[in-house]
């Protein structure tokens, strides 16, 4: 690579999974988890001080695991800021920035983190990039789809659901609402539904997450065949039907989403209410729940004609929006976003 070229990077810093794409063709997906050895023996065995993503989970018994964005924000402690710095630095290093004289990045973060934790994210990026911009994930999704003119984005992640008004510029804090009714909440509800149906059912959160990711749907899109899964009931191996449990758990986030969508529309300039109603984007990992978009449309029907567009590639879309923005921002604007020298 020519050293005088600029490397552009887009990062989607998710609560459960993060994605990095670059102008040089890099595409990396990593679970947002960090592991540090529990003791000296573990450190000697692993031969590293920090592990990331799937590798950290694979060796979790020898590690202390941290999810730096588990609830959509960076905790205000030096330890947590250190971990998010490690993670962001690692994500950017996957794009081989050392091969370029100039590296710029746009980092999409959960809506609350993008405003509250900007300094921590900037500090984490310093040393790896020359300039950096922090945007909310909903805006990154809208930018990737070229739908930033009076659009309402519903971004369902693992830790938070972010709902955002987009109208041609980077949103202000009052344009966004965030809530904990998201993927992790559905996992908890699924465990409760199964244990209510099958007394003594023994289920971990990882099991619930896996079943949700494989089979998620609402009653508007029930599968033709029942969902049968294996788990223990008071220690006895069983294969049981959890179809209705999945549908009920997935639907628990609908009413909170609808309530917050109505709030953002009603508080917007009334001249643009119709455009927001007609231009809704359902993104994030939770957008993969079958039938969710149609149920949200139905619940919003009292507002008038509503259209919810479900994205095709929720995993990479935020990072692609960040990459596109990084390449389209005028050079003069990057000068105002310059970090300390790499």
Here the CATH number for the domain that contains residue 224 is 3.30.420.40
From start to end of the chain, where are the E strands?
6-12, 17-22, 27-31, 34-37, 51-52, 63-66, 102-109, 131-136, 151-156, 161-166, 176-179, 201-202, 228-233, 236-241, 280-283, 308-310
The reply to whether 61 and 171 lie within a common domain is no
197, 230, 251 - which closes a domain: 251
Integer Cα distance of 222 and 233 in angstroms: 25
Output the pLDDT for position 72. 65
Question: Does residue 75 sit within a domain?
Answer: yes
Same domain, 166 and 284: yes
Residue 106 lies in a domain: yes
Sheet containing strand 201-202, edge to edge, reads 201-202, 228-233, 236-241
Contact 332, 34 (CB under 8 A): no
Mean pLDDT of 23-31: 95
Least confident segment among 37-51, 194-208, 226-240: 37-51
Give φ, ψ of 212 to 5 degrees. Answer: -60, -45
Tokens 């009334």 correspond to what residue?
A: 270
Number of domains the chain contains: 3
- Percent of the chain clearing pLDDT 70 (strictly above): 92
Cα–Cα distance measured from residue 288 to residue 284, given in angstroms and rounded to the nearest whole number = 8
For 160-313, where are the alpha helices, taking DSSP H only? 183-197, 205-215, 243-251, 254-266, 273-278, 292-299
Domain that holds residue 292: 144-181+253-315
Strand 131-136 to 102-109 pairing: parallel
Q: Tell me whether residue 287 is in a domain.
A: yes
Say if residue 25 is in the same domain as residue 97. Answer: yes
Residues 196 and 95 in one domain: no
Cβ neighbors of 245 (< 8 A, separation 6 or more) are 190, 193, 194, 197
Flag whether 295 is in a domain.
yes
Query: What pLDDT, on a 0 to 100 scale, did the predictor assign at position 109?
Result: 83
Helix or strand holding residue 326 (H, E): helix 314-328
Residue 342 has pLDDT above 60, yes or no: no
C-alpha 186: how far from chain center: 15
What's the pLDDT at 341? 45
Model confidence at 340, in pLDDT bands (50, 70, 90)?
Answer: very low
């Amino acid at each position: 690579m020519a050293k005088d070229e600029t490397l552009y990077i887009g990062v989607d810093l998710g609560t459960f999974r993060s994605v990095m794409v670059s102008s040089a063709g890099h595409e990396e997906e990593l679970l947002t988890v960090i592991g540090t050895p529990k003791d000296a023996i573990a450190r000697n065995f692993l031969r590293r001080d920090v592990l990331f993503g799937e590798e950290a989970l694979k060796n979790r018994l020898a590690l202390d695991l941290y999810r730096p964005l588990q609830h959509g924000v960076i905790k205000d402690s030096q330890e947590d800021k250190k971990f998010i710095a490690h993670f962001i630095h690692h994500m950017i290093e996957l794009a081989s920035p050392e091969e370029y004289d100039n590296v710029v990045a746009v980092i999409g973060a959960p809506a609350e983190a993008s405003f509250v934790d900007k300094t921590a994210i900037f500090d984490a990026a310093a040393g790896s990039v020359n300039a950096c911009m922090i945007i909310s994930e909903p805006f990154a999704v809208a930018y990737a789809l070229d739908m930033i003119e009076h659009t309402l984005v519903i971004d369902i992640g693992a830790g938070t659901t972010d709902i955002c008004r987009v109208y041609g510029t980077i949103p202000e804090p009052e344009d966004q609402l965030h809530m904990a009714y998201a993927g992790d909440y559905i996992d908890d509800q699924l465990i409760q539904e199964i244990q209510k149906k099958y007394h003594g059912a023994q289920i971990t959160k990882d099991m619930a997450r896996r079943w949700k990711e494989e089979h998620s749907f609402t009653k508007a899109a029930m599968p033709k065949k029942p969902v049968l899964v294996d788990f223990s009931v008071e220690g006895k191996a069983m294969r049981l039907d959890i179809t209705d449990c999945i549908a009920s758990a997935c639907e628990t986030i609908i009413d909170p989403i609808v309530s917050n969508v109505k709030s953002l529309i009603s508080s917007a300039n009334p001249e643009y209410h119709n455009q927001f109603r007609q231009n809704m984007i359902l993104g994030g990992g939770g957008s993969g729940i079958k039938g969710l978009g149609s149920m949200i449309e139905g619940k919003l029907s009292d507002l008038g004609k509503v259209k919810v567009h479900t994205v095709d590639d929720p995993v990479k879309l935020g990072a692609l929006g960040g990459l596109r923005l990084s390449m389209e921002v005028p050079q003069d604007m990057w000068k105002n976003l310059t970090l300390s020298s790499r």
